Amino acid sequence: MPQVEVNGHHIFYVEEGEGEETLVFAHGLLWSHKMFREQFAHFKKRYRVIAYDHPGQGQSELPAAGMDMETLTADALQFIVKVVGKPVHFLGLSMGGFVGMRLAARHPEWIASLVLMETSANTEPVENLPQYKMLNGAVKLFGVTSAVAGPVMKIMFAQSWLENPAHAEAKAFWTKELKANKRSISRSVEAVIYRKGVAGELGQITCPTLVLVGDEDVATKPEKAKFIQMNISGAKLHIIPGAGHSCTIEKPEEVNRLLEEWYAETVGI
């Protein structure tokens, strides 16, 4: 699988398809490019599709220093420049959305369109911090144990999805993926929970923008998505029933349909 050196460390990515237009997917905290497997299978028939692992996550190298959102955004920009070399259609989920908003606002010449899934333009809500800090403290010491994975799965997925027996195999797979994180993932967690907001930059985003959120998302609630949609000119919002904080996994067919329709009707690709 390919890797590219960006700002002194290596970023892992996967790539399929050979279309004229390029989709770049950026995953959420604690996961990897794997959360977009269903989108890859669907869109590789028409586009060049790329998904990278954020530095220090998945199979990407852990940087010696610099894990804040500004550094991760700089890494993403250089990744696009080196691997694609032309404007891309950027799709970011949660943490990937934090990066996507910064890219589109500050480097519009590289972002042809933007999809923001289960993300927020604000700082982490104060009410979330005690639980997140407690869980991250345990991760620093012991890694993602079963005692940590249980509560985190309830943050990442809709309650209705977790309780559905039809999802037992998928639930086991993603629990295993979660527990595979190294203790150093705590640095990425800190980058997310102590991030600065970018609400004041949303007005600088001028590319076509689609905002998706699950109606059961407890990490970045639907009102966060509505705020983004209201502050980006022309942005469209879809709330996905039965999805939590991982709609590409929980409701892949619905996500693929919404993306396909939006790309055809609004972006023109």
pLDDT digits (tens, 9 = 90+) for 200-254: 999 999 999 999 999 999 999 999 999 999 999 999 999 999 999 999 999 999 9
Which of helix, strand or coil describes residue 90? strand
* pLDDT at 263 (0 to 100): 98
Residue 22 has pLDDT above 80, yes or no: yes
Distances (CA, A) of 265 to 112, 233, 236, 259: 15, 17, 12, 10
User: Superfamily for 3-123+197-267?
Assistant: Alpha/Beta hydrolase fold, catalytic domain (3.40.50.1820)
Domain ranges of the chain: 3-123+197-267
Distances (CA, A) of 188 to 26, 106, 136, 191: 14, 22, 10, 5
Burial-class residue 190 by CB neighbours within 10 Å (0-12, 13-18, 19+).
middle
Question: What is the pTM assigned to this prediction?
Answer: 0.96
Mean pLDDT of the chain: 96
Structural contact between residues 262 and 238, judged by C-beta atoms closer than 8 angstroms: no
Residue 180 has pLDDT above 90, yes or no: yes
Q: 28-47, pLDDT tens digit by residue?
A: 999 999 999 999 999 999 99
**Helix, strand, coil percentages for the chain (3-state, nearest 5):** 50, 15, 35
